[in-house]
Structure 1
Amino acid sequence: MTDNNTHPARWMIYGANGYTGELIARAAVKQGLRPLLAGRSPEKVQKLAQELGTDAVAFSLDNATQAAAAINGCSIVLNCAGPFSATAEPMMKACLQAKSHYLDITGEIAVFELAQSLHQQAKTAGIVICPGVGFDVIPTDCVAAALKAALPDATHLALGFDSRSGFSPGTAKTSVEGLAQGGKIRRDGKIVSVPLAYKIRRIDFGDGEKEAMTIPWGDVSTAYHTTGIPDIEVFIPGSPAMIANAKRANYFRRLLGIRWVQNLIKARIEKTVKGPDEAKRATMPTYVWGEATNARGERKTARIRTANGYSLTITGSLAVVNYLLQQQPEGGAYTPARLISPELVSQLPESGEMQIS
C-alpha cells in the first residue's frame, strides 16, 4: 500500500456485534489475529472486545470524514454491517480517505457495481476494494473464473447454489430489499430488470436434479467483471410453492418498496429471525454449480461442494484478510477470484475439489 504507515496487523471488523460479524471476530481471535472491533453501539462492541481480549471503537457512518478518522491506522476494514445498501458507500469513501483496504460480505448487486465505479479512485489511493468476500460471492465467483478458463469463448454463464442454511437477520433484511427491486440478469453485458423467478429450469447442483429459479444475486455483477461473459443468470432450487410465491410477489413488489412497509417487515425480522447455530451449520453443506456455453453450443459444467454458507463466510473473509495482511496487490476494485485466484474456494475448510466436465 502506498504512503500508509500502518502496522500491517492492525485491521478492523465493522459490525462486529452482528450475527456474522461476531462469528468472524471469534474465529479471527482463534487464529491469533487481533482485529479492532467496531460498530455503532459502544456497549455491544466493547462487551465483545472485552470477552475476546481485543480493542473496540464505536462510530456511525453518517459522516465520512469522521468515519475515516475512526479507521485511520487500520490497513484493512472488513465491513459486516448489513444491509450494505446503507453502509457500503460511506465506508468505501472513508477507506479511500484513510487509505485502508475495503472488504465486505455483501451479495448486493448495487454494492458490487459501486465498487467497480470506484476502481480508478482505489487505484490512485493504492487500496483494494473487494466486496463479497463471504459465501456471496467467493464460491460462485471461483466457479465463474474456472468456467471461463475451461471455455474461453463462452457467451452465456449460468451459476447457482443449493444451500439450506437459513437466514441471519441481516441476510433476511437484504432479501426483503431485493424482493422490492425484482429480478436481475445480465444481457449483452448490461444488467437488466426482469420479473422474480423470471426463468425456471431443472438443475443438478450436485445433490440431484431439482427445479430451480433465477434470483437477483451478486454474480450478475461480479461474474461479468471476473469473466467478461456478457449473458449471466443465477439460480437456486425452489419448491413449487416457493416458485409460485416468488412469481406472485411480482404483483405486489411495489408495495414492498414503500419505506414504512420495509421498516415494518425489518422490525419483525429483528425480533424473530436468528441465524443458524454451530451444530446446525456443521450439518448443512452447500452445492455450487455453474454452466458456460459458447456460440457453437459447446458447454462446460462445474460443481463443487462447500461448507455451509455462514461457515464459508467466516473462513473465506479471513482468508482474504490474511492475504491482504501478507501481500501488496495493486490498488483497484476486485472480485474475490481476481484478487486471489479461482482456487480460493477449493482451499477453504470443508470444500471438495471443483469438478469440470
Structure 2
Amino acid sequence: MNNKQILIYGAYGYTGELIARQAVAQGLKPILSGRSAAKLQPLANELGLPAIAVSLDDKETLVRTLQGVAAVIHCAGPFSATAEPMMHACIASGAHYQDITGEMAVYQQAHALDAEARAAGVVLCPGTGFDVIPTDCLAAALHKTMTSATHLTLGFDSDSGFSPGTAKTSIESLGVGSAVRRNGKIEVTPHAELTRKINFGRGEKFAVAIPWGDVATAYYTTEIPNIEVYIPMSPRRAKKMQRMNAFRWLLGMQWVQNWLKGKVEKTVRGPSENQRAEQKTWVWGEVRNDRRGERRVGRVVTANGYDVTVHGSLAVVQHLLGYHGEGGYFTPSRLCGAELVEKLPGSGSIEIGID
C-alpha cells in the first residue's frame, strides 16, 4: 500500500471527532466520512479536511470511496450493525481496518474473516481503543510470564463517563446478560452472577463480571481457555443488576432498546476535556495455573478511556501506515506488541508480580 491516506468513518460522533482533531494535531490529513453530509461538513470545514458522506448500505459506493485509502478508523456504532459491512468493504478495496468497538460479536466476526483478509493482504484489527488495548496488552504480558496458565481474569477501575455510543452499546447487553469463557467456549451468564473482591490498584473493591470484549480477544491473544472480566460495583447496585435478570426478555425487545437508546441521544453528551484530564484508569489482571498452584498479578495505570481510545487508535493507524506484514485478523497486542499500552500518553509501565 503506497498511498498513505487514512479515512475516519463516523468522524462527527463524540469519539470520532476527538480522533479527527488529534489526527490533525499529529500532522495527519484524514478523509472524514459518515452517513450524514450535514453533520460531516462543518467539522471538515473547521479542520480543513476532505469529507465524503457515504452509507454503509451502499456497498459499491463505499468500496469506491475506499480505493486508494491505506487504512480506515471505523468509529460509527453500534458496531454490531456497522462493522461487518465496513470490514467487507475494506477487504474488497485493500484498506486495513480498525475500529474502537468493545462488542464481542464484532471480534468474532473479524476472526471469522481471517482467511479472507489474509488472502487480500488486509489487516482487520477491531478494538483499537480503551476496548481493548490496555486489557489485551496486559493479558499478553501476563501470559508471557506463565505460558501454562489455565485461567485469566482481567478488570479495570475507571471514573470515565459514558459517551453516547458507549451508552448505547451497554444498553444492547441488557437483554443478553453477561459472558465468560469456559474451557475455550463463550458462555452467557446472568447479570452480576459472578462477584469477587479485587484490588485494581487503589484498594480492594467489590466487583462483578461483565461481558467485556476480552472474553473474545484475550483468548485469541493467549489461548487461555478460561477468561473473566470484572469492574468495581457496589453490592447494592449488583443486587439491582441481579433482579434485572428476570426482565432480560423485555430489555432485549427492539422497541425497548430503541426507547432506551433514544433517551441516551437526548441526555448523554460524553465527558469534557477538563473532566477527561482528571480521570485515570487502573487496569488489573491475573493468570493462574491451579494444578501447579501458580499465580501472577499484573497492573497498569492509563489515562481515561477516551484519551486511550484517541491515542491508541492513532498509534495503531500509524503502525499500519508503515506495515509490511501479512493480512488477517489481529488483536492490538498481536499487531503492535504488548508494550503498545505503555507508549500511550498518560500510561505507566506494566508491572507484574505474585500479588
Same fold (TM over 0.5): yes
Query: Are 2:27 and 1:32 equivalent residues in the alignment?
Result: yes
Query: Are 2:103 and 1:108 equivalent residues in the alignment?
Result: yes
Is the partner of 2:19 in helix, strand or coil? helix
Distance 2:253 2:60 in 1: 31
Query: Are 2:142 and 1:131 equivalent residues in the alignment?
Result: no
**Map of 1:82-231 to 2, 5 A cutoff?**
82-231=77-226
Is the partner of 1:122 in helix, strand or coil? helix
Count of residue pairs brought into register by the alignment? 352
Write out per-residue CA displacement over residues 161-212 of structure 1, whole angstroms, 9 at most, x where no aligned residue.
0011110000000000011111110000011111111210000000110000
Distance 1:94 1:144 in 2: 31
Distance 2:199 2:94 in 1: 44
Deviation at 1:239, TM superposition (A): 1.1
Is the partner of 1:43 in helix, strand or coil? helix
Could you tell me which residue of structure 2 aligns to residue 256 of structure 1? 251
Q: Which amino acid aligns with 1:87?
A: T
Q: Which amino acid aligns with 2:271?
A: P
Could you tell me which residue of structure 1 aligns to residue 71 of structure 2? 76
Distance 1:25 1:153 in 2: 42
Distance 2:59 2:214 in 1: 28
Q: Which amino acid aligns with 2:175?
A: A
Distance 1:268 1:133 in 2: 27
Deviation at 1:253, TM superposition (A): 1.2
Could you tell me which residue of structure 2 aligns to residue 242 of structure 1? 237
Distance 1:242 1:13 in 2: 37
Could you tell me which residue of structure 2 aligns to residue 17 of structure 1? 12
Distance 2:302 2:234 in 1: 22
Query: Are 2:320 and 1:324 equivalent residues in the alignment?
Result: yes
Query: Are 2:57 and 1:62 equivalent residues in the alignment?
Result: yes
Write out per-residue CA displacement over residues 99-122 of structure 1, whole angstroms, 9 at most, x where no aligned residue.
110100000000000000000000
Distance 2:243 2:56 in 1: 36
Is the partner of 1:343 in helix, strand or coil? helix
Is the partner of 1:349 in helix, strand or coil? coil
Query: Are 2:308 and 1:312 equivalent residues in the alignment?
Result: yes
Distance 2:322 2:247 in 1: 49
Q: Which amino acid aligns with 1:160?
A: G
Is the partner of 1:154 in helix, strand or coil? coil
Q: Which amino acid aligns with 1:308?
A: N
Is the partner of 1:148 in helix, strand or coil? helix
Could you tell me which residue of structure 2 aligns to residue 347 of structure 1? 343
Could you tell me which residue of structure 1 aligns to residue 295 of structure 2? 299
Deviation at 1:68, TM superposition (A): 1.1
Range with bigger deviation, 96-105 or 245-254:
245-254
Deviation at 1:35, TM superposition (A): 0.6
Distance 2:300 2:203 in 1: 13
Query: Which of the numbers 311, 324, 333 marks the counterpart of 2:329?
Result: 333
Q: Which amino acid aligns with 2:307?
A: S
- Divergent runs of 4+, >2 A: 63-66
Deviation at 1:309, TM superposition (A): 0.3
Could you tell me which residue of structure 1 aligns to residue 36 of structure 2? 41
Is the partner of 1:329 in helix, strand or coil? coil
Ranges in structure 2 where 5+ consecutive residues have no aligned partner: none
Task: Give the aligned CA root-mean-square deviation in angstroms.
Answer: 0.8
Distance 1:334 1:23 in 2: 24
Deviation at 1:67, TM superposition (A): 1.4
**Map of 1:282-297 to 2, 5 A cutoff?**
282-294=277-289, 295-297=291-293
Q: Which amino acid aligns with 2:192?
A: A
Q: TM-score, normalised by structure 1?
A: 0.97
Deviation at 1:66, TM superposition (A): 2.4
Query: Are 2:281 and 1:271 equivalent residues in the alignment?
Result: no
Deviation at 1:69, TM superposition (A): 1.4
Distance 1:64 1:235 in 2: 38
Deviation at 1:297, TM superposition (A): 2.2
Distance 1:17 1:232 in 2: 35
